[in-house]
C-alpha cells in the first residue's frame, strides 16, 4: 500500500530459508523479511535459477519489510514490501562459495574492501541473478541499486556469457547507483506494484517498457 518510502504492507509473506535462500545472520534477528508475494516469489525463483545454472551457493537476503510494513530503521524505503536488500554472491580467493555473516563491500576489481580482502565478487552468479531478475515475466523489476563499478563488471560478465541483448539492455536500464548510498555491498531490488493492486499501491517513474499495462499519470 502506498509508496515504497511512505507505505505499509498488507498480507505480507515471509521469505523463508531454504536449499537456495538464506537470511544474512546480521539481519535475521529482526524478522524484517516480509514482502509482497510477488517479490518473495521472485527472489525464490531467482535463487532457484542461479542454483540450477551454477550449483553450490545460496541467495543471501537482508531486510525486506516489517510484517505490517512502515518505517524500518536504516532505510528510506522498504515500507511496502516491494524492496529487498540482497547480498552479493561471493567466493573465497580459491573460488569456493562463501556465506558471510554480514554484507561485504567490493571494489571495481571485484576484490573485497576493508577486512574482506580475501573475498571475491562472484561475477558469474551475480550476473545470473541480475539476468533472471530483469527477465522475470511475473514480477517486473523497476530498480536494482548497485555501484557503477559493479554494474560495469556485471554487464561485462553478461556479454561474456552471451546473454540475450534484451536481457543486457534491461539490466543496463535497471541498475543504477543512487546518490545517497553507493551500494558497494548489496543489491537493492524494487519491483513495480502488482497490477491487480494498483490504486492502493502506487508506482512512480521511471516506467520502463516492460511496465505492465499503462503507466499512471505522473504525480497522481
Ligand atoms: Zn535497501
- Write the DSSP string, 91-107: EETTS-EE--SS---B-
- Sequence-separated (6 or more) residues with CB below 8 Å from residue 190: 4, 77, 82, 83, 141, 142, 143, 144
Res. 218 pLDDT band, cuts 50 70 90: low
Look at residue 186 and tell me whether its pLDDT is greater than 70: yes
- Strand locations in 27-163, DSSP E? 34-35, 59-61, 83-87, 90-92, 97-98, 119-121, 141-145
Look at residue 72 and tell me whether its pLDDT is greater than 70: yes
Round to whole Å and give the CA distance between 145 and 148.
9
Percent of the chain exceeding pLDDT 90 equals 88
Look at residue 5 and tell me whether its pLDDT is greater than 50: yes
- Distance from Cα 216 to the centre of ligand 1, integer Å: 24
* Average pLDDT taken over every residue of the chain: 95
- Distance from Cα 76 to the centre of ligand 1, integer Å: 8
Q: What angle do CA 150, 183, 142 make, to 5 degrees?
A: 85
Q: Count the helices and strands in the chain (H runs, E runs).
A: 5, 13
SS3 75: coil
Helix (H) or strand (E) holding 14: strand 13-14
In the prediction, which pLDDT does 182 show? 87
- Distance from Cα 5 to the centre of ligand 1, integer Å: 11
- Distance from Cα 199 to the centre of ligand 1, integer Å: 24
Round to whole Å and give the CA distance between 144 and 11.
24
- Distance from Cα 35 to the centre of ligand 1, integer Å: 13
- Distance from Cα 188 to the centre of ligand 1, integer Å: 5
66-84: average pLDDT: 95
CB–CB of 106/150 below 8 Å? Answer: yes
- Distance from Cα 157 to the centre of ligand 1, integer Å: 24
Look at residue 179 and tell me whether its pLDDT is greater than 90: no
- Distance from Cα 122 to the centre of ligand 1, integer Å: 20
Q: What angle do CA 70, 72, 74 make, to 5 degrees?
A: 150
Domains of the chain: 2-197 (3.30.1380.10)
In the prediction, which pLDDT does 39 show? 97
- Distance from Cα 170 to the centre of ligand 1, integer Å: 20
The lowest-confidence range among 73-77, 91-95, 98-102, 156-160 is: 73-77
- Distance from Cα 115 to the centre of ligand 1, integer Å: 22
On the question of a cis peptide bond just before residue 206, with omega within 30 degrees of 0, the verdict is: yes
- Distance from Cα 101 to the centre of ligand 1, integer Å: 17
- Distance from Cα 85 to the centre of ligand 1, integer Å: 5
Cell digits of residue 40: 518473495
- Distance from Cα 65 to the centre of ligand 1, integer Å: 10
Res. 220 pLDDT band, cuts 50 70 90: very low
Look at residue 109 and tell me whether its pLDDT is greater than 60: yes
Round to whole Å and give the CA distance between 57 and 187.
17
Q: Longest Cα pair distance anywhere in the chain, in angstroms?
A: 52
Amino acid at each position: 500500500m502506498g509508496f515504497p518510502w511512505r507505505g505499509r504492507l498488507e498480507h505480507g509473506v515471509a521469505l523463508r530459508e531454504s536449499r537456495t535462500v538464506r537470511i544474512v545472520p546480521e539481519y535475521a534477528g529482526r524478522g524484517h523479511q516480509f514482502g509482497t508475494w510477488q517479490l518473495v516469489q521472485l527472489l525464490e525463483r531467482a535463487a532457484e535459477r542461479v542454483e540450477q545454472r551454477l550449483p553450490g551457493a545460496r541467495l543471501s537476503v537482508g531486510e525486506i519489510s516489517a510484517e505490517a510494513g512502515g518505517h524500518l530503521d536504516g532505510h528510506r524505503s522498504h515500507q511496502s514490501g516491494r524492496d529487498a536488500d540482497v547480498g552479493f554472491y561471493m567466493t573465497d580467493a580459491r573460488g569456493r562459495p562463501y556465506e558471510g555473516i554480514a554484507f561485504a563491500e567490493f571494489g571495481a576489481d571485484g576484490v573485497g574492501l576493508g577486512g574482506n580482502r580475501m573475498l571475491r565478487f562472484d561475477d558469474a552468479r551475480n550476473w545470473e541473478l541480475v539476468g533472471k531478475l530483469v527477465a522475470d515475466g511475473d514480477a517486473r523489476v523497476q530498480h536494482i541499486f548497485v555501484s557503477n563499478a559493479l554494474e560495469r563488471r556485471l554487464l561485462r560478465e553478461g556479454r561474456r556469457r552471451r546473454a540475450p541483448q534484451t536481457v543486457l539492455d534491461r539490466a543496463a536500464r535497471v541498475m543504477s547507483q543512487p546518490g545517497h548510498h553507493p551500494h558497494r555491498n548489496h543489491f537493492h531490488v524494487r519491483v513495480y506494484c502488482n497490477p491487480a493492486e494498483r490504486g492502493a499501491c502506487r508506482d512512480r517513474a521511471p516506467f520502463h517498457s516492460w511496465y505492465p499495462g499503462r503507466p499512471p499519470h505522473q504525480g497522481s
